[in-house]
Amino acid sequence: MFRTSAHSLGALTAALALTLAGSATADAASAPPHRSEAGSGHSSQLGSGLGSGLRDVMFVGNNWDGTADVIEPSGDLARIGRINVIPDKEERLKEIYANPLKLAFFLGIRLGPGEGHDQFVDDMYSTPDGRSVVVSRPSFADVVSLDLATGKVNWRFPVSGFRSDHMAVSPDGGRVAVSASISNTVHVLDIDTGKEAGSFKTGDKPHENVFTDGGRYLWNMSIGEVNTALDDPLMDWTKGDRRITVVDARTFEVVRVIDMRERLDAFGRKDLSDALRPVAFSPDESRLYFQVSFFNGFLEYDVKADRITRVKTLPKNPATSEDRTTWVNDSRHHGLSMSPKGDKLCVAGTMDDYATVVDRATLEQGPLVTAAKPYWATVSGDGRSCVISESGADRVTAIDFASGEKTASVAVGDHPQRVRIGRVSADWTSPSGS
């Protein structure tokens, strides 16, 4: 059932240069923002129907080789084509090597979060018209829009600081939010032009972004410092300011700050980290499910009551070392998605080499599906399956929500991470040179 995980992070101490101090912010006094039943934890820009000449696909970001595979969004997940997301690689490298500070951070990313590799793609979303895909590129500290027909760069936005990370697209597909993890900032960009609509400050190392209430609010979860070997619980104070920042997506004013440290302590789990990893909202957005650093499981948070209500501890792989410094970027489990009906959760047990479907009502888990370092979980185009990226095997795998069993798997590029539903033209083929 299990595979041995052996992911040494001894070189991560060299990435201490990635740590910058964020500004601490107390809990805002405003009440929780009202939300309709329109939101979800995996917002998609796809509308109720495809426009003429478009097809749904899945984009798979291959972090280490700088490509994105385009695959079928359900069924056998067959590969349709591939995109080179770093067509301007030589130009970017010349800029980096000409600037000692940029070079220091570029090499720090390679030694730290990149596990000895450059991080060329973290996240990606296509535009509603299927003409372009927008990609965050951590090692190049930018976001680019690529023409899906030609593979050429439409626009480029350098983020503040020295590394870009997770993104989110607004429900109408018009804006994309990107975490600038070194400067503790989220930039919100026009998806067609790349022009900045606004930005806001976050906790240390902003990570996951989610639009809620039909795009009215934007939530950011910060994970703090994850690139050092100071992983003993007694050294938790070195990890920085970790919190949820909720802003008005029109004005970018902060409407709420949630410090999970206080909520975890009140729930009786002072032993758990408050560094938030992937999250998933219930369909009515009344409950937030979230993973935290170093933990094999997830928690449930009642948004209106402002308290943690349940915790689910999942099995440990006996072959996984209990030495926290061997876990990738402080992850134990990293990847969480919810079925469209809201009755099932899918969990990527990253360092434990499995994925599993959990019943949301009872928190009973299904079969443990063997997977090699699963790093992300999303939902298939037809809503029937959870789709995980197996970064240790260079594969994408589907798990049926109903049975909890694996139904399909396809080979992709080097170290797949984020997987997103998108769209391309119905007759799309890979651009030349990709």
pLDDT digits (tens, 9 = 90+) for 73-96: 999 999 999 999 999 999 999 999
Q: Which residues contact 368 (CB under 8 A, 6 or more apart)?
A: 1, 2, 315, 349, 354, 355, 356
Contact 78, 401 (CB under 8 A): no
Q: Residue 418: which H helix or E strand, with range?
A: strand 416-425
Q: Which residues contact 9 (CB under 8 A, 6 or more apart)?
A: 115, 229, 325, 326, 327, 328, 329
**SS3 assignment, position 172:** coil
pLDDT higher than 50, residue 44: no
Other Cβ atoms within 10 Å of 126 Cβ, number: 29
| Beta pairing partners, 419 | 60
233 exposure class (CB count in 10 Å sphere: 0-12, 13-18, 19+): exposed
- Which pLDDT belongs to residue 350? 97
Contact 25, 254 (CB under 8 A): yes
What is the spatial distance between Cα 86 and Cα 161, in angstroms, rounded to a whole number?
A: 20
- Which pLDDT belongs to residue 164? 97
pLDDT tens digit sequence for 165-191: 999 999 999 999 999 999 999 999 999
Mean per-residue pLDDT, 274-287: 97
Structural domains of the chain in order of their starting residue, each with its CATH number: 10-425 (2.130.10.10)
- Which pLDDT belongs to residue 50? 57
Contact 276, 223 (CB under 8 A): yes
CA angle, 229 then 233 then 239, to 5°? 60
pLDDT higher than 90, residue 279: yes
Contact 169, 191 (CB under 8 A): yes
Question: What would the two tokens of residue 21 be?
Answer: 């101090």
Calculate Rg over the CA atoms of the chain: 20
What is the spatial distance between Cα 139 and Cα 120, in angstroms, rounded to a whole number?
A: 6
pLDDT tens digit sequence for 100-131: 999 999 999 999 889 999 999 999 999 999 99
Percent of the chain residues past pLDDT 90, beyond the cut: 82
Q: Which of 5-14, 83-92, 213-222, 419-428 has the lowest mean pLDDT?
A: 5-14
Sign of CA dihedral 357, 358, 364, 370: positive
pLDDT tens digit sequence for 211-228: 999 999 999 999 999 888
Band the pLDDT of 51: cuts 50, 70, 90.
low
